[in-house]
Amino acid sequence: MEGNLGFYFGDIARLARKRFDAAARADGLTGAQWRVLMVIARNSGINQGQLADRLDVEPITVCRMIDRMEHSGLVERRPSPTDRRARLLFAAADADSLIARIDAHGRRIVEAMTHNVAPEDRARLTGLLETIRANMLDDALFLPGGRALG
């Protein structure tokens, strides 16, 4: 099992993305637009570079998506109070009901993903995934001679 852990993470992420993308289409969005909107809604005032990092895409790709979504009235660009060159991203007020629907879709998908998983196992799984995520964010673990790589 341990040797397959990376495969399971990747495959579960792929399958979940397919489900989320299908739900997004039901609301008239692409999966990419859905992810952009949810990251902005949860990180109000994020800049485009930070958004690109979170989505693991190039900044020019984010710029084009934001252009389209701003034109559709889903997001707003506002000037940064600390850097006159920067623009910060916010979900538009008109997007509130769409964000609520997306959030509800997400909860239903996660509920289906964890169907037949006991509540105590869910809690333990969440804790384990938080630990794994923290490990992945710790650069020192991945340096030659680092704690994880010996």
Burial class (CB in 10 A: 0-12, 13-18, 19+), 19: middle
Distance, CA of 91 to chain centre: 15
The pTM (predicted TM-score) of the whole model is 0.79
Q: Tens of pLDDT along 25-82?
A: 988 888 889 999 999 999 999 999 999 999 999 989 999 999 999 999 999 999 999 9
Q: How far apart, in Å, are the Cα atoms of 135 and each of 23, 85, 129, 146? A: 31, 34, 10, 12
Residue 90 has φ and ψ, to the nearest 5°, of: -140, 150
Note the pLDDT of residue 85: 87
- For the record, the structure tokens of 133 come out as 């995520």
Checking if the pLDDT of 17 tops 70, the result is yes
Q: What is the DSSP-derived secondary structure letter of residue 95? A: G
Distance CA(109)–CA(104), nearest Å, equals 9
The Cβ of residue 129 has, within 10 Å, a number of other Cβ atoms equal to: 11
